[in-house]
């Protein structure tokens, strides 16, 4: 079982061999990357064919929750014990160099490998609540309770974060000295993630004030 202070990238599959200076061993950074994400891309094999499917995610301690339909081939495959890989990436800036070769992006990325377990009964309900509050904190308490059919149609998997790695790039263009005099602008263009003004559902039967938990919510996840 993974512990909150155990280092990352300590297995053969998660050790970063290329550009190792971008590897981060701090598990707290993994938590930050996952807590800022709403979607993870899950890779798996089915009948010998590779697939990558985006799913809703939320961190639950040292486990990653995956939310999807009971009818989904991904969730049927993973619930049977098939191994998977989950990737999360935040793009923070375009890095525009003096050459196409050196142009790149600044990013924060995480990779989790393992076998997920399907949650049932009370664990499933608790995970459902955690996923809902990850979408927007404090909202679950105000919603209509889940009914039995909704619970039956949903699969929630828990993936232990025992085998994981984090890679971060945060730099300015790394042009060769011989290219610095090339007559072109070079530098970084930050990419910001933010939320817009809430838009009420036109089918609301009567006006409802914007909840405090929405008013308090920041413009974006960092």
> Rounded to whole angstroms, what are the CA distances from 148 to 2, 87, 143, 154, 163?
33, 31, 15, 10, 34
Work out whether strand 23-24 and strand 83-96 pair parallel, antiparallel, or are unpaired: unpaired
pLDDT at 172: 97
pLDDT tens column, 20-54: 788 888 999 999 999 999 999 999 999 899 999 99
50/85 Cα distance (integer angstroms): 11
Q: How confident is the model at residue 222 (pLDDT cuts 50, 70, 90)?
A: very low
pLDDT at 110: 97
178/154 Cα distance (integer angstroms): 58
Q: What pTM value is reported for the model?
A: 0.90
Q: Say if residues 34 and 190 touch (Cβ distance below 8 Å).
A: no
Question: How many other β-carbons are positioned within 10 Å of the β-carbon of residue 163?
Answer: 19
Mean pLDDT of the 1-26 span? 75
Domains in the chain: ranges and CATH: 20-174+208-215 (2.30.110.10)
Contacts of 147 by beta carbon, 8 Å cutoff, 6+ apart: none
């Amino acid at each position: 079982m993974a512990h909150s202070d155990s280092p990352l990238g300590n297995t053969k599959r998660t050790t970063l061999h290329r550009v190792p200076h971008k590897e981060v061993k701090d598990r707290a950074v993994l938590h930050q990357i996952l807590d800022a994400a709403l979607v993870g891309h899950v890779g798996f094999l089915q009948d010998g064919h590779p697939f990558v499917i985006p799913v809703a995610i939320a961190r639950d301690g040292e486990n990653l929750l995956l939310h999807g339909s009971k009818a989904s081939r991904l969730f049927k495959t993973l619930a049977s014990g098939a191994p998977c890989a989950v990737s999360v990436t935040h793009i923070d800036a375009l890095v525009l160099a003096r050459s196409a070769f050196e142009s790149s992006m600044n990013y924060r990325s995480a990779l989790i490998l393992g076998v997920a377990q399907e949650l049932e009964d009370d664990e499933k309900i608790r995970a459902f609540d955690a996923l809902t509050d990850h979408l927007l904190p404090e909202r679950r308490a105000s919603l209509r309770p889940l009914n039995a059919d909704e619970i039956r149609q949903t699969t929630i998997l828990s993936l232990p974060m025992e085998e994981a790695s984090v890679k971060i790039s945060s730099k300015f263009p790394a042009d060769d000295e011989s290219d610095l005099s090339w007559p072109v602008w070079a530098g970084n263009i930050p990419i910001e993630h933010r939320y817009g003004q809430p838009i009420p559902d036109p089918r609301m039967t009567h006006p409802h004030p914007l909840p405090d938990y929405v008013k308090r919510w920041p413009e974006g996840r960092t």
